[in-house]
Structure 1
Amino acid sequence: MGATLAVAPCDWSTIRIFRNAASSRSQIKMTTMEQEPRSMSVSLRRRLTALAALAMLGGLAAGYRSSLISVTLVVDGESRQVRTHQDTVGSFLLDTGLTLYAEDIVEPGLDQSLRPGMTVRVVCARPVLIQADGRTRLVRTHAVTPDQVLSEAGLSLAPHDRVVVESSPAGDDSLLHVRVIRAVPITVHEDGRAFAFYTTASTVGGALREAGLTLYLADRVEPGLGQPLSSGMHIYVERSQPVAVRVDGRTIRTRTHRDLVGHVLADLGIVLTGQDYTHPPLDATLNGDLTIEVVRVYERFLIQQDPIPFDVVWQPDPDLELDQRRLIQEGAAGVLERRLRVRYENGQEVSRTVENEYVAVPPTTKVIGYGTRIVVRQLETAEGTVEYWRVIRMLATSYSASTAGTPRTSSYYGRTRLGWPMRYGIVAVDPRLIPLRTQVYVPGYGVGVAGDTGGAIKGRRIDLGYDDDNLALWYRWVDVYLLTPVPPVDQINYIIGQ
């Protein structure tokens, strides 16, 4: 309300200056000569009369002009020179055609005598249209602030009232429009609390905006936001609560007055089908800034085929020589079909369940025939001819009593598996492949007897025994000949692994 009102100058176009010549307002009487020569013609007399009249009028006009005085007229700071015959300030201003109001300031006063070279100052009052308390009135004032204008008009302002200064609605720039908006007390009830304040707003929505309340589309306001305000009005604001819904790969953020998760989804048009579910559940109560997740569930049935390994059966063949093999029947894997129920949640697989399974194609057993016919042969060696009934390809290593890994303090140090003293000619074997006490012939070593075993001697491994003083180191593949006699059938391992 500390605004300054601009003062518009008077319009010079309204000033009219009249210069009244005596020749135009006075009647001049002219007397004729009492005596005229009778001999003068009528026409001559008329000419002489006209000449005399013109001479008199010219003299009067010259005298009138010489009686004009010069005055400086200043209206709202704008100055111009005016010549006049008037003798007072008031008659001078009246002669100019300037319209004056009682609130205008004239210096010197209207009844002051006018003198040549005088300056007459006029300060026009500004017209102001005041609208307050249901009334509209026009005042003229020299006040420069809205408060001063209202004070001159006898209007007082309460602490919360508002003053609006506008240009004239009619578009007249010289006319100001001052509106006084009276503040009214109202009370707002929000979420169980109430607060009162004064407002100059015209509607409920404007008052809440003045109070700094941010409203959301889902909030409820009673009376409505567009309703006009009245003094002492109570406004009720029921706040909605924020909620977010994650569904179908997107997040919807909204506000609601609903209490249950299911009601929120119904308002949003989100439908659960089949085994769809939500977290929290549909009957859960909303609490605070909640996020609801909608889990879309669907199931698919798949047929899964898995191979069934075939069995391998070894079948003795008396017509086939020992350590020979032949394929009697080729094996083939079978097919096991399973019907699976696959569950997806939000597009991700979460479980697989076997509904049923059956053998679609049974496997075919592989049958291998192995030879059981033993043939005794002879081998010429440096030590003489030997008879053997089997040849096995083996990895040969060597050892002695001191390298066997048995502590010297042990009671069985230097003793073999059969309790024999360790010496050259005793070999360690895997009894599952070569029975103990079997005689063998190893090229480069000679004849030995299977009389010992070892933790590392498994399958196609043979450890050649030496005395400590004649140990020769071995590590190579050799043919090992099993010498006669042929052991009993139950002691022969017909199938030797690779």
Structure 2
Amino acid sequence: MSNEANNTNSSKIFKGKSLAVTIATVLLFAAVLTFAIYEGTKNTVTVTANGEQEEVRTHAETVGAFLEEQEIEAGEHDFLSHSKETPINEDLALEWDAAEQYNVTVDGKATSAWTTENTVSEILAKADVELTKHDKVSPALDEQVDEETTISVEKAYEVTIQDGLNEKKVWSTSTTVADFLKQHKVSLGKLDRVEKEMDELVLPNSKVKVVRVEKVTDVVEDTVKYAVETKKDDSLLKGNEKVVQKGANGVVKKTYEVIKENGKEVKRDLKNEKVVKEPTKQVTAVGTKTVVASVSRGAQTKAAPAAKATPATQAAPAQEKKQEKAAVKTASVEKAATPAPAKAEPAKAQPAEEPAGGKEFYVSATAYTASCTGCSGITATGINLHANPGLKVIAVDPSVIPLGSKVWVEGYGNAIAGDTGGAIKGNKIDLFMANKSDALSFGRKQVKVRVLN
């Protein structure tokens, strides 16, 4: 009985174990089947993250859900090939690249930019830095950098450069004068100078002035004025001058060292002087001879009545004849007529006809007498007009009509330039008249004169 009971119990235990195994197998199969079905319904997402690729199967319905599932936090500057709202309905290739922060300085002021790009130009674009072709950027725009590199930008500004007489505006960045000139290919000569210190910074809207300096040699010939020596000559009438030896200017060659700045002479130093031609001295004889007027009273003749033979008509021919024979400027008057009372006035003579030759010009003429107020009656050349009332004498400016000259005067006749006057300057003459009323009535006239010798 006991054996049967044991067998029965053993049979029950076996059956119970088989059922448990069967249930476990069914459950395992169901689990495997469920897992297989679950896995089979997943989509494959191929993720490329920061250059590394990986395949991930997921039930996530959107890219955003997938990133949360994978614990990936995509920042606003990161690169994501699909938006977070993109549904995942099938296999998907997703690219994600995390942005990096780059440091940038613009004219010394720091800023930064987040970007997934790594070239300088792309980083500066992301940092909203606007560039011109004149700006200076370091490293170069096409160079690739990492987040440890600081990108430097120097903004260009206008600077005026005056090179000699040429002026223009150029672009420059913060630099020294020396580098600025080198940058713009401005070379300096050994005498040139820059009106700024070479290590001085070039500032915006400033001017860099280059003065072009040159040293040249200039050889010129100057005139050496001749000296004038005067000698007294008693054979010449007083007031007359005669050139005995004509002067000639000399020549001297002078060598100068000339400094020019921007083409304009600023300094001239005499380095050498050489006489090429000596000057010739001019010797001038100055007359000291005084004209002496002598009156010869001859015997009375019947052929020459006093009324018709006046001193004026007799004096001029006799004087002309003696001057021609002696070849000197003297006035010797002979008075040949019947003696008349000392106070009698001479008769008027008709003026001589105009001669040919001589120097002709017009003058302003007035008249005077020997008895005028303040007059002595003795001319500047020593003629006694009181003793010779019939002599034709004119007062002149010796610089225009030399004293002692023989002169023909329109309306007056032949006369001698034998007197001067304080008011007789330039083209003016004063006619001597014995009669005061004639002198007053003459007034002032424009007359023609001829200087005959």
Q: Give the TM-score normalised by the residue count of structure 1.
A: 0.46
Structure number having the greater helix percentage: 2
Q: Give the TM-score normalised by the residue count of structure 2.
A: 0.50
Structure number having the greater strand percentage: 1
